[in-house]
Copies of this chain bind each other. A is one copy, B any other.
Amino acid sequence: MKSRAKAVRSRKAPTAGTPSAVDVTGRTVRVDAQRNLDALLEAAKAVFDASGVDAGVREIAKRAGVGIATVYRHFPQRSDLVAAVYRREVDACVEAAATLAKEHEPREALVRWIHRYMSFIASKRGLVAAYRAGVPAFEALPAYFRKNLEPALQALLDAAAAAGRIRHDVEPYELLWAIANLSTPPSGVGPQYSRRMVGLLIDGLRYGAGQGAPASKASRRERG
């Protein structure tokens, strides 16, 4: 992909000796563009943390000290910016899966990771709602999330199922989505809501351990 590594020209260095980055296409990236990109990501992260992912583009641009168009050149849609900001945290979540798998027995690792995942989702106010409501072209956002989180959860599920601790007929993507949607409590309910509901879901996983019956069928049978 990268055709050549670009060395720094000894002209004036705007950002303290930073080597000019290279595009995926091999083009050199202008230092101001790179600087703005960094500022944008940092500002977006700060604003999202403070006001949720519903924060306006103008606010982010202002905080980053750039114009609106600069935002849209780097990120064709608002959702692309959201995805870029959370990419790093998704990666961390994926790494956590491997770590937990080594340090705990299969089911415990699964439960702990689910809680880890819940924390990530819960801290992103409005992420799920935005993802949902954003009908037009929010397709870019779930792509990265799914591509990385699904295999991580799949590994945990397989290990726990192999150990006979949970049923083995659950799709990881469905579980990811379900947990994400359970991570927003309604108003007027204690903060433990999410844990309780996801706890129910996990108990449902355990309920069918070793049976292999689909959840939908199991729920309809008169006697377990």
Contact = CB atoms under 8 A, between A and B. Distances in A.
Contacts of A173: 186, 189
Interface in A183-222: 184-187, 189, 192-193, 195-208, 214-220, 222
B215 A204 contact: no
A130 interface: yes
B142 A187 contact: yes
Contacts of A197: 174, 178, 201, 215
A2 interface: no
A199 B135 CA distance: 27
A139 interface: yes
Nearest to A217: B199
A126 interface: yes
Contact of A219 (B178, B198, B218): B198
A16 interface: no
How many identical subunits does the complex contain? 2
A14 interface: no
Contacts of A224: 206
A181 interface: yes
A72 interface: no
B193 A219 contact: no
Given A133-B129, A186-B177, A189-B174, A216 B196 contact: yes
Contact of A129 (B129, B201, B202, B207): B129
Contact of A204 (B111, B135, B203): B203
Nearest to A107: B222
A60 interface: no
A182 interface: yes
A122 B18 CA distance: 52
A182 B180 CA distance: 10
30 contacts: A111-B220, A129-B132, A132-B184, A133-B133, A171-B189, A173-B186, A173-B189, A174-B186, A174-B189, A177-B186, A178-B182, A182-B182, A196-B214, A197-B215, A198-B219, A199-B214, A199-B215, A199-B216, A199-B219, A200-B200, A200-B201, A200-B205, A200-B219, A202-B204, A203-B207, A203-B208, A203-B218, A204-B204, A206-B224, A207-B207
